[in-house]
Amino acid sequence: SQQGEEDPQALSIQEGENATMNCSYKTSINNLQWYRQNSGRGLVHLILIRSNEREKHSGRLRVTLDTSKKSSSLLITASRAADTASYFCATDGGGSNYKLTFGKGTLLTVNP
């Protein structure tokens, strides 16, 4: 079963606007990561937030984590057409292999 569930499933915005995507999960986590996938390509790692962190920034990206609500959000500010992609959250519960469980993803379309 999917650990992470992103919403919305699809989001369409205009260039320059901010985009917010949410992710919820069900069990305890060690880390939560966000990835981007362009159509037909592999995944690009965006940001990792640990379970004891609440917020993290990287360039135009801001990720928050609320472990009490088992949820995370990814904010992309001042979006660009090149940000058009699917965005996935992935959680791991620690352990020897730190296996990732992916959500279903949010398809973000940024219109020029």
Partner 1 sequence: GAVVSQHPSRVICKSGTSVKIECRSLDFQATTMFWYRQFPKQSLMLMATSNEGSKATYEQGVEKDKFLINHASLTLSTLTVTSAHPEDSSFYICSARGATNQPQHFGDGTRLSIL
Minimum distance, C-beta of residue 16 to partner 1, in the bound complex (Å): 27
CB of 107 to partner 1, least distance (A): 8
Give the integer Cα–Cα distance in Å for 73 and 82: 20
The residue with tokens 């999917």 is 2
- Give me the residues that bind partner 1 (CB under 8 A), please: 2, 30-31, 33, 35, 40-45, 48, 88, 94, 96-105
Min dist CB 35 to partner 1, Å, is 8
Q: How far is the CB of 55 from partner 1 (least distance, A)?
A: 18
CB 53 within 8 A of CB 39: no
Query: Could you give the CA distance from residue 109 to residue 80 in angstroms, rounded to a whole number?
Result: 10
Nearer to partner 1, 45 or 57 (CB): 45
Label residue 60 exposed, middle or buried (CB < 10 Å: 0-12, 13-18, 19+).
Answer: middle
